[in-house]
Amino acid sequence: MNNKVNILGVNVDMVTIDEAADRIIGFFDEDKLHKVYTPNSEIIMNAYKDEEFCALLNDAELLTADGIGVVYASKILGKPISERAAGYDIACQVLDRIKDTDHSVYLFGSKPGVAEMAREKLIEKYPGLRVAGTHNGYFKPEDEPAIVEEINATGADLLFVCLGAPKQEQWLARNADRLKVRVAMGIGGSLDVFAGTAERAPEFYCKHGLEWFYRLKKEPWRAKRMLALPKFGMTVLINGRRYKQED
Ligand code: UDP
């Protein structure tokens, strides 16, 4: 049930989108904070080079494979993950399941105005969904306690933290003890996609593991960051087996 594959030190759960959503729904029944992160190959490469960040990722209750590179890495290491479980897709599943219930979601992150637009779009897409509140992702460190208080005051039990990696994971690590939500998901640019200010790659690209290629075409300035993908593949091939896999 809790099968994980150790990819360069990061213990990724071998779950599908559906299974990840099932686990998250189960987390609502436990009276504590559960952190959910969705590392892609770039994030795992950063963790490989930064022990502290690696520990911070492994502290999550659920870590899913966001990106075809991570899925391939799991295959190379002999513990195949059956599909890419991107944060955006898991978030959609969870929202669909909690609409028409007492659960409510707080949207935190992205540029001013985006979370509010995402709220509108989400309520249209998931009628009956309760969006407890929103806050943009550009703030001063001294504002953090007030933001946490605001999130707690809304009574939300689900929190989307969309500050990009590693900011969102670091923010959650710093504020975990004070947060009252039961599930906090670090899901990068998802609010932009919900709001419609950023596009997701068309289905064809996602299905064939070519989302990176679509993003490269659309956002060529990401090319340097994308070199992380082949580097990641090589590093997994060369060093991946040094990491102990649990049975
Ligand atoms: N962001 C933010 N605060 C910051 C930096 C970034 O809210 O200080 C937001 C940014 O507006 C974007 C998201 O974080 O909505 C990161 O998106 P990106 O696609 O770069 O991250 P990824 O999903 O690749 O981690």
pLDDT in tens, 93-144: 999 999 999 999 999 999 999 999 999 999 999 999 999 999 999 999 999 9
**Whole-angstrom distance, CA of residue 152 vs CA of residue 148:** 6
Give residue 31 CA to ligand 1 midpoint distance, Å: 29
**Whole-angstrom distance, CA of residue 188 vs CA of residue 197:** 14
Give residue 164 CA to ligand 1 midpoint distance, Å: 4
Give residue 188 CA to ligand 1 midpoint distance, Å: 5
Which residue has a Cα nearest atom 15 of ligand 1?
110
Q: What is the 3-state secondary structure (H, E, C) of 85-150?
A: CCHHHHHHHHHHHHCCCCCEEEEEECCCCHHHHHHHHHHHHCCCCEEEEEECCCCCHHHHHHHHHH
**Mean pLDDT value of segment 213-230:** 81
Q: CB within 6 Å of ligand 1 — which residues?
A: 109-111, 137-138, 162-165, 167, 188-189, 191-192
Mean pLDDT across the chain: 94
Q: Are 67 and 10 in contact (CB under 8 A)?
A: no
> Quick one: how far is CA 211 from the chain centroid?
16
Q: Are 94 and 25 in contact (CB under 8 A)?
A: yes
Q: Which mutation among 139, 163, 174, 226 tests ligand 1's pocket best, with the greatest number of atoms within 8 A of CB?
A: 163
| Residue 218 predicted with pLDDT over 80 | yes
Give residue 222 CA to ligand 1 midpoint distance, Å: 13
Calculate what percentage of the chain has a pLDDT beyond 90.
85
- Specify the pLDDT at position 2: 63
**Whole-angstrom distance, CA of residue 168 vs CA of residue 37:** 9
Instruction: Please state the atom number of ligand 1 nearest to the C-alpha of residue 137.
Output: 7
**Mean pLDDT value of segment 147-174:** 98
Q: Indicate the pLDDT class of residue 211, thresholds 50, 70 and 90.
A: confident
Give residue 242 CA to ligand 1 midpoint distance, Å: 33
Give residue 135 CA to ligand 1 midpoint distance, Å: 13
Q: Is the peptide bond before 166 cis (omega within 30 degrees of 0)?
A: yes
Give residue 246 CA to ligand 1 midpoint distance, Å: 33
Q: Which mutation among 42, 110, 219 tests ligand 1's pocket best, with the greatest number of atoms within 8 A of CB?
A: 110
Q: At what angle do helices 228-239 and 41-49 cross, to 10 degrees?
A: 60
